Structure 1
Amino acid sequence: MRQNPARRTALLDAAIDVLAGEGSRGLTLRAIDKQAGVPTGTASNYFANRDDLLAQVMRRTRERLTPDPEALAETMKQAPSHELVAELMRQLLTRMRNDRAGNLAMLELRLEATRRADLNAELSGFLTEENREIVDYHVNAGLPGDRTGVALLYFAMSGLLVDDLTAPALLEPYPIDDLIEQMVNRLLR
């Protein structure tokens, strides 16, 4: 397997674009090569098989969707409050909207994981760990709410993000900022 990290990242970003645009069935090594603008056969030098490709795409989507540590540190200078949590949720929504392809790819990976046991195991483990880290971060930062409330907020925001991404008209009657504030205030007592 090739070890050029920049090329691997470019191929993974191309794979995310293909997955977001064409779905799982359109995700082929040839399609990745075409999207990345590299010679045919390049992607096959970087991914051992489809399971390896999907696992690496999953990890790359999470890298792309993770908040910038400096921006997060700046936001976290505020005193712990419901308002701060609402701001963090608004920033999350903005990040998700700014990387629509990454989010659509992640939804495709979730669907693909229902049909691929190995991917399901890896994705479930990955998301479980991510959820634990988010809850731990929230509680350790002294933000309002207990572990269950934070978990409920995570699941509620996940649903809101999916609707915002796939059926935004559903949310049109509700100002998003108000929804976020209500979720935070009701779930984090």
Structure 2
Amino acid sequence: MARNPERRAALLDAAIDVLADEGARGLTFRAVDARAGVPTGTSSNYFTDRDQLLSQVGDRIFVRLTPEPGTLDTALRPEPSRELVVELMRWTARRMAAERSCYLGLFELRLEATRRPELRDRLTEVLRGDLAFNIRLHLESGMPGDADTVRLLYFALTGLLFDHFTVPGLHDDRELDVLIETVVRRIVPED
């Protein structure tokens, strides 16, 4: 197995783009090599098989979706309130929109995981950890609501973004902001 971490990251980024543009069925070593602009066969030097590629793509997506260090601390500086939750949800939606390929790739991985138990186990582990982190952050920062509040916000934002990315024109960015505010006001208790 090749050990160049920069090349591996570039191949994984190319794989994310292939997933987003062509779906899981289009994710082949040849397609990744072509998207990355490397010689045919390069991907097979970095990944033993398609399952390993899918698993590492999932890991790479979460690396790219993770906010820069200190960003969360800055975002959580204002006094905890329902309004701050609205702003944090909008911020999250903008971050996801900025990484549209990652988010679409994650949807594709979720669908593929229904047919691949090892991928399903890995995604479950990562998503469960991410949700637990968000619950802990919400509670420790003193935001209004409880763990179920965070779960409901997660489910609502996931659904809103799924529609936003897969059915362009269903609602524009302004409407997405309004929907996010409505969701938060209905789920998060008053301060």
TM-score range, shorter chain: over 0.9
Q: What corresponds to 1:163 in structure 2? A: 163
**2:7 is aligned with 1:2:** no
Change (3 A) 1:173 1:105: closer
Aligned to 2:103: 103
Provide the residue aligned with 1:26 in structure 2. Answer: 26
Q: What's the CA shift string for 1:112-136, capped at 9, x where partnerless?
A: 0111111111111211111111111
Q: Does 1:146 align with 2:146?
A: yes
Please name the residue that 1:47 is paired with. 47
Q: Tell me, what secondary structure is at the counterpart of 2:142?
A: coil
Structure 1 outlier segments of 4+, above 3 Å: none
Q: What residue in structure 1 maps to residue 80 of structure 2?
A: 80
Deviation at 1:187, TM superposition (A): 0.9
For residues 178 and 16 of structure 1, the distance between their equivalents in structure 2, rounded to whole angstroms, comes to 30
Q: Distance in 2 between matches of 1:76 and 1:3?
A: 38
Counterpart residue identity of residue 186, structure 1: R
Corresponding residue of 1:35: 35
How far, CA to CA, are the matches of 2:22 and 2:4 in structure 1?
A: 26
Which runs of 5 or more residues in structure 1 are unaligned? none
Query: Identity of aligned pairs, percent?
Result: 52
Partner of 1:135: 135
Q: Give the superposition deviation at 1:185.
A: 1.9
Q: 1:56 is matched with which residue?
A: 56
Whole-angstrom distance in 2 between the partners of 1:141 and 1:105:
31
Residue 138 of structure 1: how far off its partner (Å) = 0.9
Residue 79 of structure 1 aligns to a residue in which SS?
A: coil
Shift of 1:106: 0.7
Helix, strand or coil: the match of 2:143? coil
How far apart in 1 are the matches of 2:176 and 2:27? 33
Q: 1:40 to 1:173 in 2, by over 3 A?
A: closer
1:174, CA displacement in angstroms?
Answer: 7.6
Distance in 2 between the 1:155 and 1:118 partners? Answer: 23
In 1, Cα distance between equivalents of 2:174 and 2:5: 43
Post-superposition offset of 1:172: 4.7
Q: CA deviation at 1:176?
A: 2.1
Q: Residue 50 of structure 1: CA displacement?
A: 1.1
Offset of residue 56 of structure 1: 0.4
Cα distance, 1:66–1:16 mapped onto 2, change above 3 Å: same
Q: CA RMSD in A?
A: 1.5
One-letter code of the match for 1:104? L
The superposition leaves residues 133-157 of structure 1 with CA deviations (integer Å, 9 ceiling, x where unpaired) of: 1111111111111111111111111
Number of the residue aligned with 2:183:
183
